[in-house]
Amino acid sequence: RKEVEQDPGPFNVPEGATVAFNCTYSNSASQSFFWYRQDCRKEPKLLMSVYSSGNEDGRFTAQLNRASQYISLLIRDSKLSDSATYLCVVNMGAAGNKLTFGGGTRVLVKP
């Protein structure tokens, strides 16, 4: 089992619609969680951290379910510019506090 797993997609989303997807992680001792965004042929950039109580940043909502070991990202009122690959990232608390990246979920927002 991969340490961080994501549905690769693509999720084809009509403009204005809502899309949500999850990411599962294997290590129950994982300490912190993030969503990064990567545009085609570009570098990853932090989208948002994921807090235990869930958090929202504009049209983006992130949730953490420690019992089931997954995090989710929901995008409301999708814009064409939301088309990207969304990377689930987990700090498993290993030596060096390294971040482990999932393979990404590709989202395509269409007019």
Q: What residues line the site for other proteins (CB under 8 A)?
A: 32, 34, 42-46, 49, 85, 87, 91, 95-101, 103-104
> Is residue 90 a contact partner of residue 25, using CB atoms and an 8 Å limit?
yes
The helix, strand and coil proportions of the chain, stated in percent and rounded to the nearest 5, come to 5, 55, 45
Nearer to other proteins, 32 or 76 (CB): 32
Q: CB of 97: closest distance to other proteins in angstroms? A: 3
- The residue behind tokens 């995008």 is 75
Q: CB of 111: closest distance to other proteins in angstroms? A: 26
31, 88, 98, 100 from 94: Cα distances, Å: 10, 17, 6, 10
Helices (H) and strands (E) in the chain, counts: 0, 11
Q: CB of 49: closest distance to other proteins in angstroms? A: 6
Nearer to other proteins, 32 or 69 (CB): 32
Nearer to other proteins, 9 or 76 (CB): 9
Amino acid, single-letter form, for residue 36: Y
Nearer to other proteins, 44 or 74 (CB): 44
3-state secondary structure of 80: helix
Q: CB of 101: closest distance to other proteins in angstroms? A: 4
